[in-house]
Chains A and B, each alone.
Chain A
């Protein structure tokens, strides 16, 4: 420190009594009444005597605060004021009052020998102190910087950026992040959006390429990540302090299924101005059948049914299938063709008055048919009857620092499960093969307590999430989960999350045993956190730390939904017009109306889907080729129908 450096003001003094002793992990100190400290404030204690040649410096975070006067009984104050609260303030002298704080030790320097905290002077931690206290100095040093800013620690006028260690956030040392908070305060989604921005801005290029797959399971929150939102000066100051660009995401791709009718994409992005980066998410029979377990009830589908499904998967789908008892050869590529195949078998059994086909009982065949064919109905819009598939770019097409939003907010719960299971499984497969295009994928799932509940049936999705939580970090598959009730998420999922963020918490949730390690004061603070405030737990931090983060620089879901009202497929012509014009700007509404007049609605939608997937040079020609040419009937003249002229030797004289 130079001679001109200001001498830091003493904030307090460490105290200890026999009843309230200091330990190596906790100490007490008092301050002036007006000292700018509170729960979560980080402080530095200077030792008084050298130990092993070093004067120890201890860093701590305030976890409890007490204030009291020399009053022995509240009654004494009543008596002193003659029972009048107003008179209590008239006393010429305020009673002696103490502010006594308890702090949990964050770090002792040197680390050994670890002794009780000495009776030293207490100072507010500076930015540099905060970095040391939270062991951030280890991963913020030049040349080996792996810090990801998560927010700003603000106490006593300080603005210290808090960084997470990328190696403990995205692996391989530890990974995963859970975010807990009550709904409606825009904390969970906002925190994830900001954290993703911070990761994209700070994740070291040397550590590999990183992308995010976000499942939008409700509302329009994640639907406008590429559009700028409103920020104020305070937000911009936080962005500047954290060195994160105050801009929307530069690269976002959206995937959404169609509506059940199929006219428009079933997403809040279904607006002509926003469709440029939206792709359909549609799967055919092959894709769905790989994950049929997700949609089939284990209690309902027994071993016999499983055997038949396996048979279909391995022997029937996507290959020519012949059987002497069937009326014809089948090549099953879609649910419609699968249903034809089932019908053929059942018809054969009926005709032959038989009960089994290739060891499968007719009842099992009927049940499996019912369950499988029903999927197309339950997942309408996602599952195509014709087998066409549009998917995320799993085959090496993932781009660095890009967000892939899968909007399943309007799908049925079963269909959401299917989407979730298949996409995460595919990500895992491709990461294992190192063939995804990126080295790390962050999968963001809201409502984690629904997908990986601590109790309830052992579903495919839960098993998959447990697998990701326990083994994902070795693959680069990182789970960011948000939930209102962390206590209701499977403990192996939250237990494997290296980083935990907490927004404002419900008091009932805080009463759960999992929060018993937090002091009552911290629990109280958690229950009253404002928007933009988080409590952070991270492997490097021995105690939770409170931070502020800025509003995401993206358009809020509600604002986006208002500004860009989505297309409705009640007006199919307009919906098709919008989709086709996104491919070919010269398209006119009358052209689309003519198409719909000439062709079956389903045929038009199917051809349009194929056109959207193919992205041909001449979309209208391509679409037309898929539909086949039909000539519009010419208008007939008014009056009598023209009568073919009779033969010249008309014996009946009809032409006359």
Chain B
């Protein structure tokens, strides 16, 4: 058992000072801490960003949904240094006869402890390692003067990476034997094969980074349901470049201009004729728009969240506890 309480008992048995009171690190983080920014991006379908209709619904649907979940909590302390218990999971839920079921082999989970090895007495480290899967937050490097709270942040990111690894592995498995388009919550996973696959679609719900020039912001605000922007190339040093564009899932009249706005990510048109790419982007957009019902309520992110993603989260919540 790798549950929180088992981990706490293991830590206590190993000689660490147990802590059953810590809040999940995810709740301690301020989501708005990421600075908002406009990211310049190369237009793909036209010289400048434009708006186009995605076309009438044609029954095209994604086949499955992928999402992950993480939880991390301080489970014990070695002096003031936190030992963090993390639990990550990812699941692919495939649609069959309008019901969602877990794709065979599509549920992966991992739990364990994260701590900076240099800051932990060797005996305790060995004991913890014997009891639970243990990851070194210092990544084998020496550490300098670090405020103990800073380990919280590092632990959170380490656990997040573990969750992204699971998502990536599942997306990769899907691409290896695709059975339609996989709807991934968030950007496309950092895997070359996934990022280049025509069978994977990323849908980003938050917009701290906007991939449009400032003079095109009005265009985003005016985007109507059923419309999309033309695509841009989104590049990153940490992953393969992808094509991305915006679409509106729900009418924003009388609401926040970003209400119902999602950003789609898909493989770049690698040798693909421009018209074919545009048709593919339109089709993927229609797939996303088709997922506007049923609403993902009661999740507060329902304007931008597909019901299939909420279903993934509910499954993970159920199996991860």
Q: Please give the residue numbers on chain A whose beta carbons come within 8 Å of chain B beta carbons, in ascending order.
A: 70-73, 76-77, 79-81, 87-88, 90-96
Contact = CB atoms under 8 A, between A and B. Distances in A.
Interface stretch (B17-25, B139-147, B232-240, B286-294): B286-294
Q: Which 8 A-B pairs have the closest CB atoms?
A: A72-B298, A80-B295, A76-B297, A91-B293, A91-B294, A80-B294, A94-B98, A80-B293
A440 B136 CA distance: 86
B301 interface: no
B297 A93 contact: no
B308 interface: yes
Nearest to A71: B297
23 contacts: A70-B298, A70-B310, A71-B297, A73-B297, A76-B295, A76-B297, A76-B298, A77-B295, A80-B294, A91-B98, A91-B294, A92-B95, A92-B98, A92-B291, A92-B293, A93-B95, A93-B294, A93-B308, A94-B99, A94-B294, A95-B294, A96-B311, A96-B314
Interface string B80-102: 00000000000000010011100
A333 B27 CA distance: 103
Contacts of A88: 293
B103 interface: no
Contacts of B111: none
Nearest to A82: B293
Interface in B262-321: 290-291, 293-295, 297-298, 307-308, 310-311, 314
A76 B295 CA distance: 7
A629 to B, nearest CB: 94
A68 to B, nearest CB: 13
Contacts of B297: 71-73, 76, 79-80
| Interface of A (DSSP majority class) | loop
Q: Which of B99, B290, B308, B310 has the most CB of A within 10 A?
A: B99
Most buried by A among B98, B100, B294, B311: B294
A77 B314 contact: no
A164 B223 CA distance: 73
A151 B61 CA distance: 50
A77 B297 CA distance: 9
A76 B294 CA distance: 9
Nearest to B311: A96
Nearest to A97: B99
A355 B188 CA distance: 119
Contacts of B293: 80-81, 87-88, 90-92
A243 B98 CA distance: 46
B314 A70 contact: yes
Interface in B55-114: 61, 95, 98-100
Contacts of A73: 297-298
Given A76-B295, A80-B295, A87-B293, A92 B61 contact: yes
B80 to A, nearest CB: 36
Contacts of B311: 93, 96
A18 to B, nearest CB: 15
Contact of B307 (A79, A81, A90, A95): A95
Contacts, number: 50
Given A76-B297, A79-B295, A92 B100 contact: no
A93 B314 contact: no
Contacts of A90: 293
A90 B295 CA distance: 12
Which residue, of A76, A77, A88, A92, has the highest number of chain B Cβ atoms within 10 A?
A92
Nearest to A91: B293
Nearest to A76: B297
A96 B297 CA distance: 12
Given A80-B297, A87-B293, 20 more contacts: A70-B310, A70-B314, A71-B297, A72-B298, A76-B295, A77-B295, A79-B295, A79-B297, A80-B293, A80-B295, A88-B293, A92-B61, A92-B95, A92-B291, A92-B293, A93-B291, A94-B99, A96-B100, A96-B311, A96-B314
B290 A92 contact: yes
A71 B293 CA distance: 13
A88 B307 CA distance: 14
A158 to B, nearest CB: 27
Contacts of B290: 92
B98 A93 contact: yes
Nearest to A78: B295
A92 B97 CA distance: 9
A71 B291 CA distance: 16
Nearest to A81: B293
A461 B251 CA distance: 77
A95 B293 CA distance: 10
B99 A93 contact: yes
A92 B290 CA distance: 7
Contacts of A70: 298, 310, 314
A94 B310 CA distance: 13
A133 to B, nearest CB: 31
Contacts of A92: 61, 95, 98, 290-291, 293
Contacts of B295: 76-77, 79-80
Contacts of B95: 92-93
A208 to B, nearest CB: 60
A304 to B, nearest CB: 83
A96 B95 CA distance: 12
A255 to B, nearest CB: 65
A91 B61 CA distance: 11
B299 to A, nearest CB: 10
A77 B95 CA distance: 20
A561 to B, nearest CB: 54
Contacts of A71: 297
A346 B99 CA distance: 95
A93 B298 contact: no
Most buried by B among A81, A88, A94: A94
A76 B290 CA distance: 17
Interface string B246-268: 00000000000000000000000
B303 to A, nearest CB: 11
A90 B100 CA distance: 16
Nearest to A96: B311
A80 B249 CA distance: 12
Nearest to A69: B294
A603 to B, nearest CB: 86
Nearest to B95: A93
Nearest to B290: A92
A94 B100 CA distance: 8
A94 B311 CA distance: 11
A90 B99 CA distance: 13
Contacts of A80: 293-295, 297
Contacts of B294: 77, 80, 91, 93-95
A468 B99 CA distance: 60
Interface centre among A71, A81, A91 (most CB of B within 10 A): A91
A30 to B, nearest CB: 12
Nearest to A77: B294
Contact of B100 (A79, A81, A87, A93): A93
B124 to A, nearest CB: 35
A35 to B, nearest CB: 14
Contacts of A91: 98, 293-294, 307
A188 to B, nearest CB: 45
Contacts of B291: 92-93
A95 B100 CA distance: 9
A76 B293 CA distance: 10
Contacts of A95: 294, 307
A73 to B, nearest CB: 8
A184 B104 CA distance: 55
A94 B307 CA distance: 9
A91 B95 CA distance: 12
A34 to B, nearest CB: 10
> Which residue, B95, B295, B308, has most C-beta atoms of chain A within 10 A?
B295
A330 to B, nearest CB: 93
A71 B297 CA distance: 7
A91 B308 CA distance: 11
A71 B314 CA distance: 13
Contacts of B298: 70, 72-73, 76
